[in-house]
Amino acid sequence: MTQHDRQALRAAVIGLGSMGLNHARVYAGIEGIELAAVADVSPERLLSPTHGRAATYDDYRRMLAEERLDLVSVCVPTLLHHDVALAAIDRRVAVLVEKPIAATLDEGRAMAKAAQDAGVPLMVGHVERFNPAVTELRRQLDAGKLGCVFQLHARRTGPFPQRVRDVGVVHDLAPHDIDVMCFLVESAPERVYAETLRGIATKHEDMLSGILRFHNGAVGILDVNWLTPVKVRQLSLLGENGLLQADYLSQQLTFYPRGPDGHLSDATPRAIEVESAEPLRLELEAFVDAVRRGVAPPVTAEDGLAALEIASLLVESARTGAAINVPQGDRLD
C-alpha cells in the first residue's frame, strides 16, 4: 500500500469562475480528497462557501509554494493555462487543466513536454468523455450496435455565455465534440473544412459549420454556435445498422434501427438505458484515481493537443476558404 492509499490526497483549484467553483464543490465531496486550497484574483470569489475551510490565496504561485498539494485543477481563462499549469508542474503537482489545453499549440506542446519530462500527470478536462450517455454510446459501438459508422453529427448550440471573452466559439465549444468524435470512432481526422461567422457576439467567431474527414472513412459534422436562444447538446451517429442519438443534457440515448426495407423512417425508436451521473464528478474521480495509482490519466495531454490542433485548423480553414489536410507527426516535438 502506498502513502497515497493511506492518506487523503490534497487538492486545490486555481480560478474560481463558474467551472472552478464546481471543481471545488466536487473535490469537497470525493472520499479520500481534502480540498486544501483555492486561488483566485477576485476577493469576492474567495469568499464563496463552496470551498468550505480550504485555505484561500489571491496569488496561485504563493499557494503552490506554501501548500503541500497532490493535485490541482486549473480553471483560469484559456490564455493563462500555459503559465499556471507550468507553475504547478514545476512543483511536481498533478494537473487537470480545463479544455482547451492551451491558447496555442506551441503552448500546449510545452505543457505536455514539461509534464512528460517531470513525470507529472497532466489531464485535460474534456468532460463530455465522462457523460454517461457517451460512455454507453461507446459501449454500444464496441458491441457492434451500429456496425460501420458512416457519419457523426454534433449540435452544440445555445445563448452566449458571458464568461467567455478570450477565445471564439471554435476553441471554447468545438473541442468537446472533436474529442468525443475521435474517442468514439478511434480514428483521427485527416482533412477539415469550415465556415464561420464572427463579430456578432464577440470579436471572435460566433458560429461554426465544420466537416471532419476521418482516416477510417467516417465524416464528422460540427454545428456549433453561441447565438441560438435554446441550449442544445446532441450527438448522432449514423451507421450501417441504424442511428444512435445521444442527448448530453438529459443523458438519454436512443437507437433508431433500419427498417426491413432499409429506411430509418420505418423503424421504431428504442431507448437505451443510461445510468445518470454528474459528468464532472466522474471526470474528477477518474483524475484522482489516476493520480492515486500512478497511471496515465484517461484524457491525456496528447488528446488535448489533438483536439486543439483540429480546432485551430478549422479556424484556419474558415479564414482561407479551403479544406486543410491535417499534418501528421509527434505533437510533443
Where do the CATH 3.40.50.720 domains begin and end in the chain?
A: 3-128
- The CATH superfamily holding the domain 3-128 is NAD(P)-binding Rossmann-like Domain (3.40.50.720)
What per-residue confidence (pLDDT) applies to 267?
Answer: 64
Separation of first and last alpha carbons in the chain: 36
**Side chain identity at residue 102, one-letter code:** A
Give the pLDDT mean for 99-116: 97
Helical segments of the chain, H only = 3-6, 18-28, 43-46, 60-66, 81-90, 105-118, 132-142, 169-172, 174-185, 279-293, 301-320
* Closest to 103 measured CA to CA, from 284, 311, 326, 329: 311
What H or E segment, with its residue span, contains residue 32?
none
| Per-chain mean pLDDT for the chain | 92
Architecture of domain 129-280+312-325: 2-Layer Sandwich (3.30)
pLDDT digits (tens, 9 = 90+) for 225-283: 999 999 999 999 999 999 999 999 999 999 999 866 666 555 689 999 999 999 999 99
**1 pLDDT more than 80:** no
* Closest to 253 measured CA to CA, from 283, 275, 268: 275
Please give the model's pTM, rounded to 2 decimal places.
Answer: 0.91
Contact 287, 169 (CB under 8 A): no
Q: Residue 104 corresponds to which cell in the numbers above? A: 496555442
Where do the CATH 3.30.360.10 domains begin and end in the chain?
A: 129-280+312-325
Give the pLDDT mean for 164-168: 71
φ and ψ of 28, to 5 deg: -65, -20
CA distance 47 to 37: 13
List, in order, residues 6 or more apart from 54 with CB less than 8 Å away. Answer: 12, 24, 28, 35, 36, 37, 38
